[in-house]
Amino acid sequence: HADIAMYNAKHDGRNDYRFFNHDMQLRTARVLALENAMHQALERNEFYLQYQPQLSIKDHRVIGVEALLRWKHPELGMISPAEFIPLAENSGQIIAIGTWVIRTAVNQLKRWLDSGLPPMVMAVNLSAIQFKHPDLPGLVSSILEQAQLAPEYLELELTEGVAMGDPVHAIGIMDDLHSRGVRMSIDDFGTGYSSLSYLKKFNIYKLKIDQSFVRDIATDADDSAIVSAIIQLAHSLGFITIAEGVETEAQREFLLKQGCDELQGYLFSRPLMAQDTEQFIKLNQQQTDLG
Ligand code: C2E
Ligand code: MG
Ligand code: MG
Ligand code: MG
């Protein structure tokens, strides 16, 4: 049976469609259910943020946290951002959700700083649609003003694909955000197609080396060569570097030798609830103060 289906899938486009039809129906049903559920998710408080610490490679001090969006639906359970963010982008709901993320993250950092936690940056992911929306720079400024947080505490993460999709337009938006004092970084760097002549014009602060390169740096000669090249390129353009997805001591040692500036990954911490983040930062402060 399976052999015949495989044979048909290879040799007949129409059967190919039938073969996958049932899967496609299931997928479509899930997409529709999620899209429907998302309409009420904000007002029902089903979204929350976790925070993943980012550490300086030199002394392991926490220099910032990345806000990561979580959705817990009462019946469907935890839904990964990798699944629901593309749907939120398609339906346009990403604007409302993304605004909630920026406001919640900014207010959280303000409370932490007011309560005496050491200075650090709040990194927030932006989707393509948010980035291109003409209201974004004004929105960001007004959220910061309302929270009374200085703009240099906020860092907006933009994927390489989004920045390079329309680089001339992106340069204009980055310049606007930069003039307002907000920092920008390029997320998942190395997975898209970067034009170096545009990269050097980007008003960014940091390149985030994608975790797919970090995973095998200790064992794969190609990946280790790519990562050291990215670090050198970033530094020569005046950007700092952070490695994502750092899970092992061997990866940390390699990144230290190559001159990477910052680290983020399970080796130090998973994304944490706000209260646990606070505890992590306090403990980290005590440890790094001791030297
Ligand atoms: P990202 O921005 O590249 O975030 C890093 C992802 O890697 C997070 O997955 C994080 O939990 C995971 N991670 C961190 N350290 C490690 C590690 O050591 N090993 C492994 N295997 N994974 C690690 P998460 O939270 O599932 O988020 C996935 C993606 O969803 C993010 O990738 C980002 O593109 C998107 N996302 C998350 N929150 C938001 C948001 O508020 N707005 C937008 N537009 N996108 C978001
Ligand atoms: Mg990110
Ligand atoms: Mg990333
Ligand atoms: Mg990613």
| Ligand 2 centroid, distance to 158 Cα (angstroms) | 8
Nearest CA-CA partner of 272 in 56, 48, 106, 107? 48
Q: Is the pLDDT of residue 1 over 70?
A: no
Which of 125, 154, 210 is the best mutation target for the ligand 1 pocket, counting ligand atoms within 8 Å of the beta carbon and taking the most? Answer: 125
pLDDT at position 290, please? 82
Q: Specify the pLDDT at position 122.
A: 98
In this predicted structure, the answer to whether residue 11 has a pLDDT above a threshold of 60 is no
Residue 235 has φ and ψ, to the nearest 5°, of: -65, -40
pLDDT for 2 equals 44
Q: From residue 49, give the alpha-carbon distance in Å to each of 64, 71, 93.
A: 15, 9, 17
Query: Ligand 1: which atom is nearest the Cα of residue 187?
Result: 3
Whether the predicted pLDDT of 8 surpasses 50: no
pLDDT cut 70: percent of the chain above it: 93
Alpha-carbon span 9 to 19, nearest angstrom: 7
Q: Is the pLDDT of residue 78 over 80?
A: yes
**Residue range 232-249: mean pLDDT, rounded:** 97
CA–centroid distance, 68 to ligand 1, in Å, is 6
The protein residues having their C-beta less than 5 angstroms from ligand 2 (an ion) are 125, 157, 187
| Predicted-complex ipTM score | 0.98
105 or 3, higher pLDDT: 105
Pocket of ligand 1 (CB under 6 A): 52, 68-69, 80-82, 85, 98, 101, 125-127, 157, 187-188, 211, 244-247, 265-266, 271
pLDDT band at 4 (very low <50, low <70, confident <90, very high): very low
Closest residue (by CA) to atom 17 of ligand 1? 245
Rounded Cα distance, 283 and 255, in Å: 24
Interval 131-141 mean pLDDT: 97
**4 alpha carbon – ligand 1 mean position (Å):** 40
- At residue 19 the predicted structure's pLDDT band, cuts being 50, 70 and 90, is low
- pLDDT at res. 284: 97
Q: Which two tokens stand for residue 174?
A: 């980055």
Nearest atom, ligand 1, residue 188 CA: 3
Residue 237 pLDDT: 96
Residue 42 is predicted with a pLDDT of 96
Chain mean pLDDT for the chain: 92
144-190 per-position pLDDT tens digit? 999 999 999 999 999 999 999 999 999 999 999 999 999 999 999 99
- What pTM was estimated for this model as a whole? 0.92
Say if CB 239 and CB 259 are below 8 A apart.
no
Does residue 220 surpass a pLDDT of 90? yes
For residues 106 and 122, the answer to whether their CB atoms sit within 8 Å is yes
